[in-house]
Amino acid sequence: MKHVYLSYYLQEESPVYVGLKKPSIQSECSIPRDGYNTSIISVENHSGTHVDAPAHFLEEGKTISDYNLSEFIFNRVMLWECEKNSHELVTVEDLLESHLTESGLDNVDCLLIRTGFFKYRKNNVEKYLTHNPGISEDLIHYLREKFPQIRALGIDCVSISPYTNPASANKAHKTAFLGSEDFNGDTCSEPLLLIEDMKLQAVPKNAIIEKLFIVPWQLKGVDSAPCSVIAQLK
Ligand SMILES: [Zn+2]
């Protein structure tokens, strides 16, 4: 059994969504002067690997602290290799072509989409932040209707939506977060958790994820939070 982080360290150099303040980690007390070290950490809650809850887009939506711990633990995780280039969307057609729908997506409680775009995070930050692929609103709708047991979606991009398409970002997030009663369909899943800026390259090829733990910062009443994501590999 092996454990790996599917989240990045948060540091001042962490790339963050365009328009957000950069994280700041400033030394406050230091051993030479005070005898001990402390720091003041200032970050926007959507910095680095983080988990979005419905309150991100909905006034009455759940915040991170409205979730039970068990709702951040997943036992049937699927890593979907769906390579995408700049600005492209992961679509329903991609899902159908992948044949994942025939091979046990019925049991999955967390779907991770590896687009391969993680490769630009380190060496081409501008591209990582402004050319990112995303997940189509239709695919989120489809997943919530057809696979209501899925509770979380994760992606190796700065956002689930392309930076260049704010209208689609709004719709895709809302489609993930709407309550089942507001959804156009008879049955659908509970609102989804969305994990953005994931380090999905930490999963070796063909490895099986036995369990996944999202460990958000324990912030009370906030829409979303930076998080650690830990995968237990078989
Ligand atoms: Zn976010």
The per-residue pLDDT for range 18-70, each reduced to its tens digit, is: 999 999 999 999 999 999 999 999 999 999 999 999 999 999 999 999 999 99
pLDDT of residue 11: 97
Cα(36) to ligand 1 centroid in Å equals 34
- Kindly report the backbone phi and psi dihedral angles of residue 157, in degrees, each rounded to the nearest multiple of 5, phi listed first: -130, 165
Under a CB-based contact definition with an 8 Å cutoff, are residues 143 and 153 in contact?
A: yes
Residues with CB in 5 Å of ion ligand 1: 46, 52, 196
**Residue 77 pLDDT > 90:** yes
pLDDT of residue 3: 98
d(CA 6, CA 118): 12
Under a CB-based contact definition with an 8 Å cutoff, are residues 163 and 132 in contact?
A: yes
DSSP secondary-structure letter at 7?
Answer: S
CATH of domain 2-8+45-233: 3.50.30.50
Cα(156) to ligand 1 centroid in Å equals 12
d(CA 96, CA 98): 5
Give 186's pLDDT tier (boundaries 50, 70, 90). Answer: low
User: What global pTM score does this model have?
Assistant: 0.95
Give 184's pLDDT tier (boundaries 50, 70, 90). Answer: low
pLDDT of residue 158: 97
- What 3-state class would DSSP assign to 77? strand
Q: What is the pLDDT of residues 156-179, one digit of tens each?
A: 999 999 999 888 889 999 999 998
- With both helix axes pointing from N to C terminus, report the angle between 137-146 and 166-177 in degrees, rounded to the nearest 10: 10
pLDDT of residue 145: 92
**Residue 180 pLDDT > 80:** no
Query: What are the domain boundaries of the chain?
Result: 2-8+45-233
Under a CB-based contact definition with an 8 Å cutoff, are residues 174 and 135 in contact?
A: no
Under a CB-based contact definition with an 8 Å cutoff, are residues 65 and 53 in contact?
A: no
pLDDT of residue 185: 60
Q: What is the pLDDT of residues 95-136, one digit of tens each?
A: 999 988 887 799 999 999 999 999 999 999 999 999 999 999
Cα(177) to ligand 1 centroid in Å equals 12
Q: Which residue do the tokens 């659908």 mark? A: 188
Cα(21) to ligand 1 centroid in Å equals 14
pLDDT of residue 100: 85
